[in-house]
Chain A
């Protein structure tokens, strides 16, 4: 059986790599994805009867600001379609960290939120209601400390649920202003016509409205690889429609 692919996303300095190293041990090597020159780490681990291929994405605050790192992380989550996207958050700075979590969850519901450094947060007197956060976000949320090896088994159990499809969630749907929602409604049929229903049409429509040129470039490059017919032209219409 093929291993499940787990993409590790998170802000810089959230202990993402500590967790990655803990899970993969020394069985890792640097990866270099097609069409990108960003080097990152890949490794394998097993939990119960399943094998997982872990991919450590670049640490970013966002998927929108158009640095090479953020583009690489975004493109991996959209086009490589990992079985699970694990979003690692810093428990001591949740407000800033949840920004990235929301961005990932708008793309995919196949995600697990991992709140790392929970021991550090407790030391600082920060209480975190994991259940409430999970309810609001609609995906499993686990508090851990990679450094102190707290909560790792619970995290792996949740990763297993999402990877095997025992737990499924739709991408998080955030309601925007009427004007934006109307724009999304107009663009979604065009997006689906251009690239099919495989990718998150609502999210792509949102990015088109935002004038995200870098996403359009990535879409075109990706469609060139997988040979969608007439797709470029239709995406072109979408771009015009949002200006």
Chain B
């Protein structure tokens, strides 16, 4: 599956992606950029909460949890990890 372009919400636990686009708009977009969700940065999917949402991501040496509303609007290229 390496090389596929998918939203972060579809990436399985343990997978790593390079961020290629952020469709989130407004103040929240700015916030995500400030926290390191910028094009070219690598993000790892750490784990999901019991009900499947939110999901914890690791980037820039920090763990950040996002809801599906945001994570499905951030796209990345799979570069490894996960079970597939």
Residues of chain A at the chain B interface (Cβ within 8 Å): 61-62, 64-66, 92-93, 95-96, 99
The B contact surface, by secondary structure, is mixed
Tally inter-chain residue pairs, CB-CB below 8 A: 26
CA A20 – CA B58 in complex, angstroms? 30
Check B27 against A66 for contact (C-beta < 8 Å). Answer: yes
**12 cross-chain CB contacts under 8 A:** A61-B34, A62-B30, A62-B31, A64-B30, A64-B34, A65-B30, A66-B27, A66-B30, A92-B61, A93-B60, A96-B36, A96-B61
Give bound CA distance, A169 to B22, whole Å: 35
The answer to whether B60 and A95 touch across the interface, beta carbons within 8 angstroms, is yes
Judged by a CB distance under 8 angstroms, whether B49 is at the interface is no
Residues of A within 8 A of B30 (CB): 62, 64-66
B34 with A62: CB separation less than 8 A: yes
Residue of A nearest to B61 (CB): A93
Which residue in chain B gives the minimum CB-CB distance to A103? B34
Q: Does B2 contact A (CB under 8 A)?
A: no
Could you tell me the distance in whole angstroms from the C-beta of B22 to the nearest C-beta in chain A? 14
A92 to B61, CA, bound (A): 8
B27:A95 contact, CB within 8 angstroms: no
Residues of chain B within 8 A (CB-CB) of A62 are: 30-31, 34
B1 to chain A, nearest CB (A): 27
B35 at the interface (CB under 8 A from A): yes
